[in-house]
Amino acid sequence: MEEVTQINGTGISEAEIGAYWLEEDYIYPSEEFVRKAYIQNQPFLNKFKEENFPECFHEYANLLSWDRYWTTTLDSSNPPFWRWFVGGKLNACYNCVDRHLDKYKNKAAIIWVSESVDEPDRILTYQELYVKVNEFASLLLEMGLKAGDTVTFHLPMVPELPISMLACARLGIIHSEVFGGFSGQACGERIADSKSKILITIDGYYRSGKFIDHKANADIAVATAEKLGQKVEKVLIWTRHPGTYSSKTPLVEGRDLLLDDLMKKHRGKRVDYVPMPSESILFLMYTSGSTGKPKGCAHSTGGYLSYVAGTSKFIHDIHPEDVHWCMADIGWITGHSYIVYGPLANAATSVMYEGVPLYPNVNRVWRIAERLGVSILHTAPTAIRMLMRAGSNPTQYKCDFRLLVTVGEPIEPEVWRWYYKVVGKKGAVVLDTWWQTETGGWLCTTIPSVMPMKPGSAGPGALGIYPVIYDELGNEVLPGSGKAGNLCIKNPWPGRMLTIWGDPERLVKQYYEKYCKNRDSKDWRDWPYFSGDAATMAKDGYIRVLGRVDDVINVAGHRLGTKEIESAALTCEEVAEAAVVPKSDELRGHVPDLYVSLKSGYETDNKHLEDKIKQAISSIIGPIARPANVYVVSDMPKTRSGKIMRRILAAISNNREDYGDITTLVNPDVVEEIRNIVRGE
């Protein structure tokens, strides 16, 4: 046991405070990691220097097989609608499946793990994936679907999801997967937005041991879409237990078709892939909806696939012998990019898990990782906090991770350290990757073999990405100044969405209007990308994301990042999660209001704890950041992708009812509960 000296009676040890600030210290990758990595030296990084832009991205595009090579690397004639590798043609399915058959026919492409511990894994080799994708593509073709049509999926984590995606990609059909956990209504709204005539779904799936009747959602989705003016002609239904329809919801005659029956005719069929123009749309993906109405991001075939193939190889460092497990859901961009397209383009083995991390017990994740020999684990701070909170113990298992990825929210240094020390046993590299649905792939991250880690900071710009921080007036906030500002990217990159589906003006307005230097200019240098996140940049170029720009709290003229305050709250051992929001204050403009949930086994009704947390924040950041109130709640309002929706808490703190769009909220019941706590009811 380390000896603990308490500071100012806060209950926080000196060691902990020291460790908190450790985030400005570097932690280096192990020699073993470096020896094996793809990127070994500076000359490779030099290829991505600003003077080599945009041709540097040939390094990524050349990882793919093109049916026709491109003639223009970057067409910037219509800013900010950049087009990459113009003139080129390729097929995403061919690149993720067919071309690996020569060498990797027998290799596992996808290992699917059921939520039930009793059900065997389903392992699809590249050959089996090829066969299934072709058969399904043959059916899509028979249904009259063709390149450029859109099809919506409402599928959970089953192998039929990547099979359906790749079958669409084979034919140039645009797929739009709606996260399986979304309601029928949310799915229907996205069907209407994407103008799909076909919905692909499943009878049901398992969640925390229960069979969820998912087909019921399809009926609601179709009705919702129709109300919004979009007729769904056919609903294609996979079955969770092939051969048996397990839903209690009846089939609608003439509309609903069971794929078990339909597929029989297509057994053994092969379908030629369709070479698609580089700038054709591969898929639509809606953002999480943390800050408002979700945006339908349209991603391109050539640019997107190059970008995820390149980042998966050179940054993710996925080797053919790695077993890669990204715990995200394929219903989010992380799953599209880093379960399906990036890893498969690199002939990797990608693990898919059907269920929740804590089922049937807190150590399920480590059992799976140990059994499959997972070498790269990829998850989000929300999942790591959930495991920590539940008392999960990876050290009891023979897990041997080489790389641990975190994505989706800023990771508090406390949580980072648990991931690094306890999960990675100080041997694995932690990669904190900052990006967005809109960006297709990672934008800020370290290159694990050649750059040290810094807990709580994503790295500098990824290869070929040049971040910059601007203040409100568009002046550059210099690296190392310690000042926060708006995180922007100076240059275009191949992974950025082509457009917002059905609303191209929103792309200009939301991401470019703020810092565009000259709207008539065709020079990309005049069109920096505004991410909407607040961040600081250290002298070494490392980015620390502090939260959303709109979430930054201005107390008497001091701009405080939500993440700074929340990280400080997390130094109290009782605290599992923390979220801070601005509360209007006559005197100071705003004051911070803090919401916390506790680890299991701690009393929620504890005045002493509130004081301790306030005190911790005062001593770590300064009295200016001291919360006006600390509310202990049972859970935070979260999006279905696991992010805390601070705007709801802000509305409650300020006694407003305007929560905005809450259809993406996973736990609506908690809103009422929190409101009662705040009102003291």
Which residues in this chain contact Mg ion in the complex, by CB under 5 A? 287
571 phi-psi bin (left φ>0, alpha ψ -120 to 50, beta other): alpha
> Considering the complex, what minimum distance in angstroms separates the CB of residue 172 from ligand ATP?
25
Angstrom distance (rounded) from CA 221 to CA 182 = 10
> Considering the complex, what minimum distance in angstroms separates the CB of residue 289 from ligand ATP?
4
458 interface partner picked from ligand ATP, Mg ion, none, CB below 5 to 8 A per type: ligand ATP
Our CB check for ligand ATP shows the closer of 331 and 355 to be: 331
> Considering the complex, what minimum distance in angstroms separates the CB of residue 577 from ligand ATP?
15
> Considering the complex, what minimum distance in angstroms separates the CB of residue 460 from ligand ATP?
13
- Which stretch, 13-21, 175-183, 492-500, 526-534, contacts ligand ATP (CB under 6 A)? 526-534
Q: Which two tokens stand for residue 263?
A: 């597929």
Query: Among 115, 189, 203, 409, which residue interacts with ligand ATP (rule: CB under 6 A)?
Result: 409
Our CB check for ligand ATP shows the closer of 290 and 350 to be: 290
**Please, what sign has the CA dihedral across residues 436, 437, 439, 442?**
positive
Our CB check for Mg ion shows the closer of 230 and 639 to be: 639
Choose among 569, 572, 573, 551: nearest CA to 560.
551
Site for ligand ATP in 420-449 (CB under 6 A): 432-437
Contact between 545 and ligand ATP (CB under 6 A)?
Answer: yes
Angstrom distance (rounded) from CA 595 to CA 637 = 11
Q: Which two tokens stand for residue 474?
A: 């568009």
| C-alpha angle 631-635-637 in degrees, rounded to nearest 5 | 95
CB 486 within 8 A of CB 530: yes
616 three-state secondary structure: helix
60 three-state secondary structure: helix
> Considering the complex, what minimum distance in angstroms separates the CB of residue 93 from ligand ATP?
25
> Considering the complex, what minimum distance in angstroms separates the CB of residue 438 from Mg ion?
7
> Considering the complex, what minimum distance in angstroms separates the CB of residue 641 from Mg ion?
11
> Considering the complex, what minimum distance in angstroms separates the CB of residue 294 from Mg ion?
9
Q: What is the β-pairing status of strands 150-153 and 174-177?
A: parallel
176 interface partner picked from ligand ATP, Mg ion, none, CB below 5 to 8 A per type: none
Angstrom distance (rounded) from CA 72 to CA 2 = 60
Angstrom distance (rounded) from CA 180 to CA 184 = 9
Helix runs in 624-668, H state only: 646-653
Closest-CB residue for Mg ion?
A: 287
432 interface partner picked from ligand ATP, Mg ion, none, CB below 5 to 8 A per type: ligand ATP
409 interface partner picked from Mg ion, ligand ATP, none, CB below 5 to 8 A per type: ligand ATP
530 three-state secondary structure: strand
408 interface partner picked from Mg ion, ligand ATP, none, CB below 5 to 8 A per type: ligand ATP
Angstrom distance (rounded) from CA 77 to CA 524 = 9
Contact between 533 and ligand ATP (CB under 6 A)?
Answer: yes
Our CB check for ligand ATP shows the closer of 399 and 545 to be: 545
Query: Among 308, 458, 621, 670, which residue interacts with ligand ATP (rule: CB under 6 A)?
Result: 458
567 interface partner picked from ligand ATP, Mg ion, none, CB below 5 to 8 A per type: none
What is the total count of residues that contact ligand ATP (CB under 6 A)?
25
Choose among 643, 83, 566: nearest CA to 334.
643
Contact between 580 and ligand ATP (CB under 6 A)?
Answer: no
Choose among 335, 329, 390: nearest CA to 364.
390
Site for ligand ATP in 271-330 (CB under 6 A): 287-292, 294
Contact between 643 and ligand ATP (CB under 6 A)?
Answer: yes
Amino acid at position 62, single letter: N
Bridge-partner residues for 139, per DSSP? none
Angstrom distance (rounded) from CA 120 to CA 113 = 7
CB 154 within 8 A of CB 186: no
556 three-state secondary structure: coil
CB 379 within 8 A of CB 231: no
555 interface partner picked from Mg ion, ligand ATP, none, CB below 5 to 8 A per type: none
Query: Among 58, 195, 548, 599, which residue interacts with ligand ATP (rule: CB under 6 A)?
Result: 548
Our CB check for ligand ATP shows the closer of 87 and 660 to be: 660
**Residues in contact with ligand ATP by the rule CB under 6 A:** 287-292, 294, 407-410, 432-437, 458, 531-533, 545, 548, 641, 643
